[in-house]
Amino acid sequence: MDVDFCVVGAGFGGLTTALRLKQAGHTVALLEARDRVGGRTWTETRDDGLWIDRGGAWIGPGQDAIYALMKEFGIASYKQPTEGDAMMFVEGKKYRYNGTIPLSMSPWAVANIGTVFLELTQMCKQIDPHAPWDAPKAKKWDQTTWAGWLDRNTLSKPARQLLEHSVAGLYTSAASEISLLFVLYQMASAGGPSFVLGVKDAAEDERVVGGMGAIHRAICNELGDSLHLSQPVRSIAQDADGVTVRSDDMVVRARRAVVAVPVSIVSQINFEPMLPMDRSFLQQRMPSGAVYKIALVYDEPWWRADGLSGQSFGAGSMASLTIDASTDRESPAVLCVITEGPEARKMTKLSEEERKKGVIDAVAARFGEKARTLTDYVEQNWTIERYSGGGMIAHAPPGVLTEFGPSLREPCGRIHWAGTESSAIMYGFIDGAVRSGERAAVEVMEHEAMKVAP
Ligand SMILES: Cc1cc2nc3c(=O)[nH]c(=O)nc-3n(C[C@H](O)[C@H](O)[C@H](O)COP(=O)(O)OP(=O)(O)OC[C@H]3O[C@@H](n4cnc5c(N)ncnc54)[C@H](O)[C@@H]3O)c2cc1C
């Protein structure tokens, strides 16, 4: 097959790249390994009309790229109900609270969270998300882990747990694995710490009507036969005139390729000639973590009647985080459980039945016996997904951003990079993936000295 451009991977990064190239009048082949599109977003729509987002789901303020894409296709969003109290559990003690910070913690703990938040805000201001490795203190911050920094800056145990897990949880890894510079970079890429720490009114609190699948379907309709499913790309060769992309049963010849595969698993593709050293080394050094996203389905959102929002958090539990993930209809209702990092790795070693029992017991211990009245249990373990390499997103361990960071987006000859991990703005979010696709499409067209369609 001969096309202008070949795009590898049909998550939001690749879908947006292919969409923009096609809209600009180019021929495109989008090769996707799985038999579905969406990558780390995946909506299951059931016969009773309930849809469940098994991966990325929430969107929020400042995520203009995903909202613009939805507007283009006439897809609506709705506010995820958040009224009611949240709960946090530290060493057996329960804190019930409204807002972002459990003010029922000791004044000492609350003050500690406040000072850490201010400090992070100041540090983020010193970071240009387009080049975090150039920040004046980049080297120093990149030698420190998130755990190490918290050791020096948190004196209260509950404050420490809240801060450690709300950040490390996002990278689905232990806080000791993550570079402080990387944490600051991701916060800066989302406009500061409020977004990443889930501060009320600054965080992702909206959902897409119909789930992420509604957007996938709209894009796929436009892509038509440019999309090729079940085509895991095995090799990409480049020469002076173009690229040759090979899957198990397709060979695509194009002028340029955009690879929109998670950075942690790009090395599964054989590049000929080999990629430049810094890019290869970057790919070897940016891992993803372990995460379960589980939907507990109920006839109704019973927690709301108890004055609860459905949000609860307790480190070291098989139900680390719970969130109300119901659709825009009242029934059926969904309580989502997200368990990540070391706890998720432990869960993977249990049998399906042991895991299910453990999760339900943990939720019932927090919310009471009504938690056992579920009508369905839908478990998604991203850790064992070959074409995701884990979830939610790849992070940089110490030393990686300052040594190899510039290779995150830099094209390698005729090979360009898309995907959320290549986005300077909203790194790690669905919105970042969309932005990366918009950028990569312009990039390849500019490299071929073509004009972007109005
Ligand atoms: C459990 C979970 C919850 C999340 N929650 C949120 C949330 O609420 N809000 C938010 O903004 N973000 C969330 N995220 C993150 C968000 O889902 C991702 O940032 C985003 O979907 C990444 O899109 P992408 O296109 O960069 O990569 P992906 O979605 O991973 O797409 C990459 C694609 O490449 C394909 N592929 C891989 N290898 C090959 C190959 N060799 N050949 C061909 N194709 C290949 C894959 O199958 C996949 O389709 C969550 C992620 C997870 C896992």
Residue nearest to atom 48 of ligand 1 (CA): 39
* CA-wise closest residue to 219 among 443, 452, 444, 430: 430
156 and 129 within one domain: yes
pLDDT in the model for residue 198: 75
> What mean pLDDT comes out for the span 311-319?
92
Please tell me the residue having the least CA distance from ligand 1 atom 33: 9
**Statement to judge: residues 135 and 272 lie in one domain:** no
Which of 144, 168, 196 is the C-terminal boundary of a domain? 196
Q: Domain for residue 60, yes or no?
A: no
* Same-domain status, 363 and 330: yes
Q: For 129-149, how does the pLDDT look when each residue is reduced to its tens digit (9 = 90+)?
A: 999 999 999 999 999 999 999
Instruction: Flag whether pLDDT at 223 surpasses 60.
Output: yes
Centroid of ligand 1 to alpha carbon of 141 (angstroms): 28
10 Å Cβ neighbour count for 71? 12
- Render pLDDT for 414-444 as a digit per residue (tens, 0 to 9): 999 999 999 999 999 999 999 999 999 999 9
What is the spatial distance between Cα 188 and Cα 183, in angstroms, rounded to a whole number? 9
Beta-carbon contacts of 72 under 8 Å, excluding residues fewer than 6 positions away, are none
d(CA 442, CA 454) in angstroms, rounded, equals 12
> What type of residue is 362?
A
Question: Which is the closest atom of ligand 1 to the Cα of 58?
Answer: 8
Test site for ligand 1: of 8, 41, 283, 322, most ligand atoms within 8 A of the Cβ: 41
Residue 83 counted as an annotated binding residue: no
Q: Which residue has the higher pLDDT, 24 or 452?
A: 24
- According to the model, what pLDDT value does residue 49 have? 87
Q: Is the dihedral of CA 307, 89, 177, 349 positive or negative?
A: negative
Residue-wise pLDDT for 256-277, tens only, equals 999 999 999 999 999 999 999 9
The protein residue whose alpha carbon is closest to atom 6 in ligand 1 is: 56
Q: Are residues 141 and 190 in the same domain?
A: yes
Interval between CA 227 and ligand 1 midpoint (Å): 17
The answer to whether residue 155 sits within a structural domain is: yes
Please indicate, yes or no, if residue 110 is contained in any of the structural domains. yes
Instruction: Please name the amino acid found at residue 296.
Output: L
The verdict on whether residue 72 carries a ligand-binding annotation is no
Tell me which residues have their CB closer than 6 angstroms to ligand 1. Answer: 8-14, 31-34, 39-41, 55-58, 204, 232-233, 260-262, 265, 268-269, 291, 293, 382, 387-388, 391-393, 419-420, 428-431, 433
Asked if residue 67 is part of any domain, the answer here is no
Taking the CA of residue 433 as reference, the ligand 1 atom at the shortest distance is: 26
Measured by CA distance, the residue closest to atom 36 of ligand 1 is 9
- Considering the domain architecture, whether residues 233 and 277 belong to the same structural domain is answered as yes
Query: Is 421 part of any known ligand binding site?
Result: yes
Instruction: Compute, in angstroms, the gap from residue 11 CA to the centroid of ligand 1.
Output: 5
Mean pLDDT, range 283-306, rounded to an integer:
96
Which of these three, 196, 223, 251, is where a domain ends? 196
* pLDDT for the residue numbered 269: 98
Residue 396's nearest CA partner among 285, 279, 278, 260 is 285
Closest CA to 258 of 39, 1, 16: 16
Q: Given CA atoms 169, 362, 200, 99 in this order, what sign does their dihedral have?
A: negative
Residues 438 and 409 both lie in one domain: yes
* pLDDT average, residue stretch 230-244: 97
Cα(39) to ligand 1 centroid in Å equals 4
Assess contact for 124 and 192: CB atoms under 8 A. Answer: yes
Closest ligand 1 atom to residue 15 Cα is 25
Q: Give the Cα separation of 17 and 30 in Å (integer).
A: 9
In this prediction, residue 165 carries a pLDDT of 84
Mutate to test the pocket of ligand 1, among 40, 205, 384 (most ligand atoms within 8 A of CB): 40
* Statement to judge: residues 177 and 305 lie in one domain: no
CATH number, domain at 153? Answer: 1.10.405.10
Strand 308-314 relative to strand 333-340, pairing: unpaired
What per-residue confidence (pLDDT) applies to 454?
37
The residue to mutate among 261, 293, 324, 434, having the most atoms of ligand 1 within 8 angstroms of its beta carbon, is 261
Asked if residue 95 belongs to a domain, the reply is: no
Residues 348 and 366 in one domain: yes
Kindly state the DSSP code that residue 275 receives in the 8-state scheme. P
Q: Whose CA is nearest to atom 2 of ligand 1?
A: 55
In a domain, residue 77? The reply is: no
CA atoms of 10 and 217, how far apart (whole Å):
12
Same domain, 127 and 178: yes
Per-residue confidence at 109, pLDDT binned at 50, 70, 90?
confident
Domain count, the chain: 3
Q: Which residues of 113-126 are buried (b: 16+ CB within 10 A; e: fewer)?
A: beebbeebeebbee
Q: At 297, is the secondary structure helix, strand, or coil?
A: strand
Rounded to the nearest angstrom, the distance between the alpha carbon of 94 and the centre of ligand 1 is 34
Exposed (0-12), middle (13-18) or buried (19+): which is 104, by Cβ within 10 Å?
Answer: middle
Q: Which of 168, 196, 224 is the last residue of a domain?
A: 196
The answer to whether residue 85 sits within a structural domain is no
Ligand 1 atom at minimum distance from 34 CA: 47
- Dump pLDDT digits (tens) for 383-407: 999 999 999 999 999 999 999 999 9
Q: Give the number of other CB atoms < 10 A from CB of residue 275.
A: 20
Q: 233 among the known binding-site residues?
A: yes
In the sheet where 235-238 sits, what is the strand order? 251-254, 243-246, 235-238, 270-272
Residues 31-53, mean pLDDT to the nearest whole number: 96
Same domain (yes/no): 355, 329: yes
The mean of the pLDDT values for the chain is 94
Say which CATH number the domain at 16 has. 3.50.50.60
- Residue-number span of the structural domain to which 344 is assigned: 289-387
Residue 24 has pLDDT above 60, yes or no: yes
* Distance (Å) from CA 407 to ligand 1 centroid: 20
Residues in the chain: 454
Ligand 1 mean position, distance from CA 380 (Å): 14
**Is the pLDDT at 452 greater than 80, yes or no?**
no
The rounded percent of the chain whose pLDDT value lies above 90 is: 84
Q: What is the pLDDT of residue 450?
A: 60
**To which H or E segment does residue 344 belong?**
helix 342-348
Same domain, residue pair 308 and 373 = yes
* 72 located within any domain: no
The Å distance, Cα 41 to ligand 1 centre, comes to 6
Residues 404 and 427 placed together within one structural domain of the fold: yes
State residue 91's pLDDT score. Answer: 78
Indicate which CATH number applies to the domain containing 315: 3.90.660.10
